[in-house]
Amino acid sequence: MASTSAQTNMIDKLRSLFLLLDPSVSSLSEAETEERNELMKRLEYFEICCKKQADYYRLRHQQGTKYNFSTILSRFLQLIRECVLSHQWPEALNLIQSLCYEVTGVDCAIWKVGLACLFQDCEKNGRLVEQFVKQVCVLRSLTVVEVLLDYLLFILTQAQTADAMQLIKDLKENTQYANNLKNKKRMMAHTLFFAYQGLACYAEWKLAIFKVSQDNDDVRMNLGKNTDTAKAVAESALEYLSTVKDVPGVWDIFITRLVEIHEYYGKVETARSILVSYRERNPGNPNAHRYLYEFESRSGGDEFVLLQCLQDIIHLDPCNPLCLTLYHLKEKNDPGAVALLFDYIDYTHCSQNEQVWQVLADKLNNANSNNLEDVLKLCWETRRDWWPNVVFKDLDLDVSATGVCQPGTLLWNKRIVRDVLLHLGNCWLLSGYTDCMLMLLFEG
């Protein structure tokens, strides 16, 4: 009897399940509809898991060897990456929950993506982030210091300076973290911890100098006290931030703060030497060149250094807005500088920059007198096949009907450039009569 009753209950459950899954059944209560949606969502993720398992068995069959889940882990992580890049946070969280059942080699993904999901609503998830930090510290391949560094950054982004300093104090007092530096990864994490400590001190210093700037001349005692406080905090920040200045790596966030403090207290040469050294160690980092350029611009540095920095920036980042600055520095002595403007316009998000088109049109309007024809031929040769359909496509509109193509406008300058490029070798067109010719064209 008991067996028959159990079978009957099972059949009833299956019947209810099939009714929920039947798309033709529309007379469901609100609770049943919600249950159906939840069930369909679970089935979708079950289908994903089945596909992954199918890949696993297919690979094992093809290779004739045993595979474990790590064989297809990279594909699973790729799916998570797509969810994160497209900001599909609920889906990413569901995938992470599935991944937690197989923790070998995926601890970092669980931590990073899980934290990113919680960061989407920092105010609401503050306590949840704290709980997540405590639980994730037990994962095998994660360094506790790494986890706490990310948590420290989270606290700093919330402007909770006091909490950040307390976390730093707790970590410094806990010898378990300080002494466990047996490998390179842990040592680097420990170095980063000191750098982040400097970042927290920097935030405290900014608040201190703000108070100094708000002090009234009548309260000289408070002014002196706040100045001393700011100076003491600045010294702590410099000490901690300096731990990374000679370490290979990209330390933009720390180097800029270090330089700012030195510059504030008039140590210009010290700040310059830090930026020069950082640039030499990071030749492939556009920011390393930009920081030195901006510093030299502020302090009235050597023009040769400014030029070198700009050239390195544009070499690495051709669509940087500083391209126009570099062009103006080089145009007098180098006819080939006009190629910088072409490279800049090649990028879609730069192709509507009115200032660049104005400069290029003015230059090309007197191309013959500037001996630019050979340079223009080289620039146009690589663009002849695609610029007309991409960069000049808006010129195919009936501009005479719209009335927007007036001298000095974007379309006006574009048409000047286009007609010069399409008629390279025509001396009349390259000798300063372009504006007159265009006026006749538009009036006609």
Compute how many other C-beta atoms are within 10 angstroms of the C-beta atom of residue 138.
Answer: 9
211, 265, 215: which is closest to 238 by C-alpha? 265
Provide the phi-psi class of 134: left if phi over 0, else alpha when psi is between -120 and 50, else beta. alpha
Q: Report domain extents, the chain.
A: 42-124, 353-444
pLDDT category of residue 278 using cuts at 50, 70 and 90: very high
Structure tokens at 413: 């300058």
Q: Which residues contact 409 (CB under 8 A, 6 or more apart)?
A: 354
The predicted structure's pLDDT at residue 292: 97
pLDDT 10s digits, 115-128: 777 767 766 666 77
Among 47-61, 301-315, 351-365, which stretch is predicted with the lowest mean pLDDT?
Answer: 47-61
- Calculate mean pLDDT across residues 243-262: 93
pLDDT 10s digits, 354-413: 999 999 999 888 766 557 888 899 999 999 999 988 888 887 654 544 445 677 788 889
Is-contact 128 135, C-beta < 8 A?
no
Among 26-40, 92-106, 127-141, which stretch is predicted with the lowest mean pLDDT?
Answer: 92-106
pLDDT at residue 202 above 70?
yes
Helix ranges (H only) for 64-143 are 73-85, 89-99, 107-119, 122-136
Structure tokens at 361: 């049109």
The angle at the Cα of 248, spanning 259 to 303, to the nearest 5 degrees, equals: 45
